[in-house]
Amino acid sequence: MDTNNIKNFVVVGGGTSGWMTAAALGRVIGTENCTVTLIESDEIGTVGVGEATIPPIVEFNKLLGINADEMLRETQGTFKLGIEFINWGRIGDAYMHPFGVFGRTIMNVSFWHYWKKAYDLGLSPGLDAYSLNWAASKKNKFLRSANVANSPLAKIPHAYHFDATLYAQFLRKFSTNLGVNRIEGRVEHVKQNPDSGFITGVTLQGGKLIEGDFFFDCTGFRGLMIEQTLKTGYEDWSCYLPCNSAQALPTEAITPKHPYTKSIAHSDGWQWRIPLQHRTGNGIVYSTDFTSDENAHKTLMANLPSAAIGDPNQLRFLTGKRKQAWNKNCLAIGLASGFMEPLESTSIHLVQSAIMRFFSLLPRKTEFKTEMDRFNSSVDEEFRSVRDFLILHYKATKRDDSELWNYCRNMPVPDSLQDKLELYKSGSWLERNKQELFGVDSWLAVLDGQHVKARNYSPLVDRITDEKLKSILSDTRIVLEQCTTAMPKHEDFIKEHCQTQIPASSN
Ligand SMILES: Cc1cc2nc3c(=O)[nH]c(=O)nc-3n(C[C@H](O)[C@H](O)[C@H](O)COP(=O)(O)OP(=O)(O)OC[C@H]3O[C@@H](n4cnc5c(N)ncnc54)[C@H](O)[C@@H]3O)c2cc1C
C-alpha cells in the first residue's frame, strides 16, 4: 500500500454525523487498511434532534450494508413519503412536498406544463392529484416497491423517521463491529504542527493524546477543530432564514402514524410533527428577533398532538455555513459545517453528501489542495441550493399576521433564487443544476402549494388537442388511484416488516 495513503482517521464527535462518518470510513476504506478512531463525550452529549430524513438515506444505508428493516426496528422508525406544509401559503392552506415526481414526462416535456394548461382551462384538478406519494400519504398507506413493471409502484421514493439517539446508538454498534475504535472522553486541546498549522492530535481530559493523519470535526455547533482551532469563519445567512431557536418536545405515540412529516406554520414560527413507533417528535422553530421563548413555548404546548413526555429541549443556532468545510487536514461534517433549519430535513443528508464527496475525492496524506478546493466549492454550491429552496417557503408566504411573516414576505432574496423565480413565472422550464439537491418537482410542489403562479406553459404542449390532454391526465389519475388502492396501510407495513419488539428505553 502507498505510504502516502492516510492511515489514521480521527473522528471527534459521536452524534449522527460522527457515527455516520465512522461507519462509512469503516465500510468503504476498511479497518484493515486504516485505523478509524471516534472520540465522543457522554458529558457533553449530542444535539438529540434530527429525526426526519430524505430519500438518499436509503442508498446510504445500502452502501454501508445496513438492513433497512433492522435499522428501523432498532430506532423505532417509520416511513416518510414527503412533508405536509400546513398554513404556510395562507392560514388554512395545506399542501405537500411529496418525494418523487408529478405525473410523467410526455414527449420530452415535463408533466407540469400539461397540467398547467389543463388546470387553467378548468380541465383538471390540482397538482396533488398527480403524485403517488401525496395520494398514498392522504390514505396513510405505504409500500416500498412492488414487482410490477412500468407501474409507479415499481419503486416508491421514500425516506425514514427515526429516533435520533437510537440511530446514533445503532451506528455506533455497527461501526464498532466493523473495527472502529471508540474512545469516551472530552477533547481539551487540539495539537497543531507549528509550521503548517495542520492538526497532529487531540488531547483528552486526563492528558491522553490521540494522534492522526486526518481529522473529522463532528463536534456539532461548537466546531471544536474547524472553528475554535483553525478559525475558519462562518457565513451568516440569518437575513434570509431568520429563525435562530427551537424547542423540541417528544409526546406520546399517535395513531394513525402518518407516513410523512408535518410542518405547521404559526404566527410565531413553525412546528414539526414526526410520528415514530414509540412516540411523536415535536418541536417549534422560531426567531427571537420576532417572538420570545415564552410565546414559542405556549404555541408549542397549545398544539401538541398527544401528552408531553418531559420538558422541552431549548436549542439555539445561527443559519449559515462554515467558509470552508475542509480546512488543512480537518473536514467539518454535520452541524460543525453549518446549519440550515430543519424545514426540509436536509441536515442528515448534507452529512451523507459530504461523506460521499470525500470518498470521491479521497486525498493522500499530503498535497491535497486540488481535492480540498473542489470539495469546498461543491459543498458551497450544494448548501446555497438548499438555502434558496428553504427561503422560498418563507418568501412565498401570503401571511401577514405577525412580524415574522411580514419580514419574510418583504425580505430581499439571493439573486440565484430571484432568477429561478423569474424563470418559473415566465413559464420556462426549471432546470436542476449539478449540485442541486432538490429537483424540479420539489420546486413545483412548493411554488404551486404557496400560490406562486406561472404566467405560461411550454408551447410544445399545444401539439396535442384539449381532448387528448384531458384524457392523458384522467388516465394518470386512474393509475394512481389503482396504485394507492393496492398499497397496505403504513402501520400494517411496519407490523409486517420492521416493528420494534422491545420497548425503547430512550424517549
Ligand atoms: C431543532 C433541530 C431540528 C433538526 N431536525 C432535523 C431533521 O429533522 N432532519 C435532519 O436531517 N436534521 C435535523 N437536524 C440536524 C441534525 O440534528 C444534525 O444534523 C445531526 O444530529 C448531526 O449532528 P452532529 O452529529 O453534527 O452534532 P451533535 O449531535 O451535536 O454531536 C456532537 C458530538 O460531538 C461531541 N463533542 C463535542 N465537543 C466535544 C469535545 N470537546 N470532546 C469530545 N466530544 C465532543 C458530543 O459529545 C457529540 O457526541 C435538526 C437540528 C436542529 C437544531
The amino acid at 97 = H
Average pLDDT over residues 289-316: 97
Count CB neighbours of 43 within 10 A.
9
Identify the pLDDT of residue 30. Answer: 95
Together in a domain, 311 and 445: no
Give the atom of ligand 1 at the shortest distance from the alpha carbon of 164: 21
Identify the pLDDT of residue 52. Answer: 98
Count CB neighbours of 468 within 10 A.
11
Q: Give the whole-angstrom CA distance, residue 86 versus residue 96.
A: 9
Q: Is 224 in the pocket of ligand 1 (CB under 6 A)?
A: yes
Does the pLDDT value for residue 1 go beyond 70? no
**HSE (side-chain half, CA atoms, 13 Å) at 52:** 25
Together in a domain, 392 and 477: yes
| Centre of ligand 1 from the C-alpha of residue 46, in Å | 5
Condensed to tens digits (0 to 9), the pLDDT of residues 463-506 reads: 999 999 999 999 999 999 999 999 999 999 999 999 998 655 54
Q: Give the whole-angstrom CA distance, residue 73 versus residue 166.
A: 10
Identify the pLDDT of residue 505. Answer: 53
For residue 61, being part of any structural domain is answered with no
Identify the pLDDT of residue 507. Answer: 45
Alpha helices in 240-364 (DSSP H): 293-302, 347-360
Does the pLDDT value for residue 287 go beyond 70? yes
Give the atom of ligand 1 at the shortest distance from the alpha carbon of 333: 26
Does the pLDDT value for residue 77 go beyond 80? yes
Q: Give the whole-angstrom CA distance, residue 171 versus residue 60.
A: 12
Cα distances (Å, whole numbers) of residue 358 to 211, 371, 374: 21, 9, 10
- Pairing mode of beta strands 209-211, 199-204: antiparallel
Average pLDDT over residues 422-427: 89
Q: Is 52 in the pocket of ligand 1 (CB under 6 A)?
A: yes
Judge contact between 117 and 298, C-beta under 8 A.
no
Q: Following CA atoms 8, 10, 14, 16 in sequence, which dihedral angle do they give, to the nearest 10 degrees? A: -80
For residue 290, being part of any structural domain is answered with yes
Comparing C-alpha atoms, which of 132, 386, 342 is closest to residue 248?
A: 342
- Residue 313 in grid coordinates: 429541549
| Centre of ligand 1 from the C-alpha of residue 17, in Å | 7
- Residue 367 in grid coordinates: 498535497
Confidence band (pLDDT; 50, 70, 90) for 376?
very high
Together in a domain, 414 and 287: no
Comparing C-alpha atoms, which of 327, 329, 351, 328 is closest to residue 338?
A: 351
Which segments within 287-337 are labelled E, that is strand?
313-316, 320-322, 326-327, 330-332
Give the atom of ligand 1 at the shortest distance from the alpha carbon of 221: 30
Q: Which domain holds residue 110?
A: 94-158+386-491
Query: In degrees rounded to 5, what are phi and psi of residue 214?
Result: -140, 140
Q: Is 283 in the pocket of ligand 1 (CB under 6 A)?
A: yes
Identify the pLDDT of residue 461. Answer: 95
Q: Whose CA is nearest to atom 33 of ligand 1?
A: 13
Q: Is 168 in the pocket of ligand 1 (CB under 6 A)?
A: no
Give the atom of ligand 1 at the shortest distance from the alpha carbon of 188: 41
Together in a domain, 150 and 114: yes
For residue 2, being part of any structural domain is answered with no
Identify the pLDDT of residue 397. Answer: 98
Q: Is 13 in the pocket of ligand 1 (CB under 6 A)?
A: yes
Q: Whose CA is nearest to atom 5 of ligand 1?
A: 50
For the question of whether the overall pTM of this predicted structure is more than 0.85, the answer is yes
Structural domains in the chain (count) = 3
Which helix (H) or strand (E) segment holds residue 136: the answer is helix 132-138
| Centre of ligand 1 from the C-alpha of residue 28, in Å | 23
For residue 194, being part of any structural domain is answered with yes
Q: Is 263 in the pocket of ligand 1 (CB under 6 A)?
A: no
Query: In degrees rounded to 5, what are phi and psi of residue 70?
Result: -65, -45
Together in a domain, 228 and 326: yes
Listed range (65-79, 144-158, 265-279) with the worst mean pLDDT? 144-158
State the Cα angle at 107 between 106 and 109, rounded to 5°. 65
Average pLDDT over residues 384-410: 98
| Centre of ligand 1 from the C-alpha of residue 332, in Å | 12
Together in a domain, 302 and 346: no
Together in a domain, 108 and 200: no
Q: Which residues are catalytic?
A: 80
Judge contact between 352 and 373, C-beta under 8 A.
no
Q: Give the whole-angstrom CA distance, residue 84 versus residue 260.
A: 7
Q: What is the mean pLDDT of the chain?
A: 95
Q: Give the whole-angstrom CA distance, residue 493 versus residue 489.
A: 6
Q: Give the whole-angstrom CA distance, residue 57 versus residue 389.
A: 19
Condensed to tens digits (0 to 9), the pLDDT of residues 249-286 reads: 999 999 999 999 999 999 999 999 999 999 999 999 99
Comparing C-alpha atoms, which of 267, 270, 303 is closest to residue 400?
A: 267
Q: Give the whole-angstrom CA distance, residue 352 versus residue 21.
A: 8
Task: Select from 243, 286, 347, 383 the residue to mutate for testing ligand 1; criterion: most ligand atoms less than 8 Å from CB.
Answer: 347
Judge contact between 250 and 234, C-beta under 8 A.
no
The label of the residue with cell 489514521 reads 8
Q: Is 276 in the pocket of ligand 1 (CB under 6 A)?
A: no
Together in a domain, 394 and 476: yes
Count CB neighbours of 15 within 10 A.
26
For residue 58, being part of any structural domain is answered with no
Q: Give the whole-angstrom CA distance, residue 218 versus residue 18.
A: 5
3 state DSSP class of 393: helix
Q: Give the whole-angstrom CA distance, residue 271 versus residue 261.
A: 10
Together in a domain, 335 and 299: no
State the Cα angle at 168 between 164 and 169, rounded to 5°. 115
Q: What CATH number does the domain containing 36 carry?
A: 3.50.50.60
Condensed to tens digits (0 to 9), the pLDDT of residues 184-231 reads: 999 999 999 999 999 999 999 999 999 999 999 999 999 999 999 999
For residue 445, being part of any structural domain is answered with yes
Q: Is 175 in the pocket of ligand 1 (CB under 6 A)?
A: no
Decide which of 151 and 66 is more confident. 66
Comparing C-alpha atoms, which of 84, 220, 217 is closest to residue 164?
A: 220
Q: Give the whole-angstrom CA distance, residue 355 versus residue 479.
A: 39
The label of the residue with cell 444505508 reads 61
Together in a domain, 224 and 334: yes
Together in a domain, 196 and 345: yes
Q: Is 342 in the pocket of ligand 1 (CB under 6 A)?
A: yes
For residue 485, being part of any structural domain is answered with yes
Q: Give the whole-angstrom CA distance, residue 205 versus residue 126.
A: 60
| Centre of ligand 1 from the C-alpha of residue 58, in Å | 20
Together in a domain, 308 and 325: no
For residue 303, being part of any structural domain is answered with yes
Q: Whose CA is nearest to atom 49 of ligand 1?
A: 14
Identify the pLDDT of residue 432. Answer: 78
238 alpha carbon, distance to own chain's centre: 19
Count CB neighbours of 359 within 10 A.
12
Share of the chain above pLDDT 90, in %: 91
Share of the chain above pLDDT 70, in %: 98
Count CB neighbours of 86 within 10 A.
19
Give the atom of ligand 1 at the shortest distance from the alpha carbon of 13: 34
Cα distances (Å, whole numbers) of residue 349 to 267, 333, 339, 342, 438: 29, 11, 12, 11, 12
